[in-house]
Homo-oligomer: A and B are copies of this chain.
Amino acid sequence: MTQYKIPVLPGDGIGPEIIAEGRKVIDAAGERFGFDVEWIEYPHGADHYLETGELISEETLKELSRYPAIYLGSIGDPRVAPGILEKGILLTARFYFDQYINLRPIKLLDGVWTPIKDKTSKDIDFVVVRENTEDFYIGIGGRAKKGESKDLLEVRRTLYSAKFGLDIETDSEEIGYQIGLISKEGTRRVIEYAFDLAGKRKKHVSSVDKANVLSDIYGFWREEFNEVSAKYPDITTDFNFVDAITMWFVKNPEWFDVVVTPNMFGDIITDLGAMIQGGLGLAPGGNINPTGTSMFEPIHGSAPKYKGQNKVNPIATIWAGAMLIEQLGEKEASDMIVSAIQKNILDGKVRTYDMGGRSSTSDVGDDIARRIKEE
């Protein structure tokens, strides 16, 4: 029997509840497909931080890097200021393990209610490949007060002066600024991944940028896209400004096959994507380093107000678990999990509140696990 060791970080809020169901389902798949999982639990999250002051240590990260895939619940807690835990644990892991692909399938399962009209599971079935280690997520920025950092404080004024020879005074005392950057290599590798993926799907890649305004960073993205694209003559392409693509996701989701996007725009459009596929309760994601340590998670947050109520939908997490074991090579078991999710939904009897049902988190996990073992 194949043995896997999978580190698991249940995290905050509803994290432990949904991760419990994810584990249950993977264990059920293991029984059926002949593998066994040893789960290695890590305590990182708000409680651990508030008790010890530690977010996640380099030692822990080094230890985790020995495994091909991590299972993550959700990170974030109202007792801690926004960003501390998310940056200190989630983004730290994405960066540390160089998980340069954030893979987010936008797939409306049969029987799921979508808020948009006239679309079925045939129309909503694409994948967003989000760059995951660069762009405005690098965490570089700051504040400046008048006098302290003259060059930045006077940026706007300089801009006016350079363009119009004007000398407009600003009485601003303080600014906040942020820097984003993308590298040639970092951009190339994620775009190549998208083209390779499209080669196995409907052979179309859509690029997202805002090259008409953020021209320095995204003009660069567009050039890289064109360079990579030239190597894939059988894959068709199109360019989308990020503002426009939010419209097409709602109006014409059937246009898309693989969508490749810089990090921040990817964050935004995949939440919208989650909504059109039925809501955050149904949207899984994988942070992938194809040759290193990957990490799989629902794309929703820790929903603190539902904590401990055994109420929220575990499907996003279970689906992320399916992506995880596919990454480990268990393709058949992975497909079986997705198909059991689909059957649970079509059957319609065991559903959480967000899907109009009255079942609990663990009821849904039980139902999906049972289908894997019995059907």
Contacts and interface: CB of A to CB of B under 8 A. Distances in A.
Given A164-B96, A184-B174, A141 B216 contact: yes
A95 B216 contact: no
A170 B156 contact: no
A138 B155 contact: yes
Contacts of A270: 243
A176 B138 contact: no
A248 B166 CA distance: 42
Contact of A140 (B159, B170, B174, B251): B159
Nearest to A114: B117
A228 B166 CA distance: 30
A179 interface: yes
Interface residues of A, number: 85
Contacts of A268: 242-243, 246, 265, 268
Contact of A272 (B217, B272, B280): B272
Interface stretch (A12-20, A80-88, A198-206, A342-350): A80-88
A217 B168 CA distance: 23
A143 interface: yes
Interface string A150-191: 001001100110011110101111111111111111100000
A1 interface: no
Interface stretch (A37-45, A207-215, A316-324): A207-215
A174 B183 contact: yes
A330 interface: no
Contact of A156 (B183, B184, B243): B183
Contact of A176 (B91, B219, B244): B219
Nearest to A242: B268
A120 to B, nearest CB: 13
A116 interface: yes
28 contacts: A58-B165, A61-B164, A87-B215, A96-B164, A115-B118, A116-B117, A141-B216, A156-B186, A172-B184, A173-B184, A173-B185, A174-B220, A175-B182, A176-B219, A176-B220, A177-B181, A177-B182, A177-B217, A180-B180, A213-B267, A244-B271, A246-B268, A246-B272, A247-B272, A247-B279, A250-B276, A251-B275, A268-B268
A112 interface: no
Contact of A247 (B58, B143, B275): B275
B138 A159 contact: yes
Contacts of A185: 170-173
Interface in A210-261: 210-221, 242-244, 246-247, 250-251
A186 B171 CA distance: 10
A137 B180 CA distance: 13
Given A182-B176, A244-B271, A246-B246, A82 B211 contact: yes
Contacts of A279: 247, 251
A95 B116 CA distance: 37
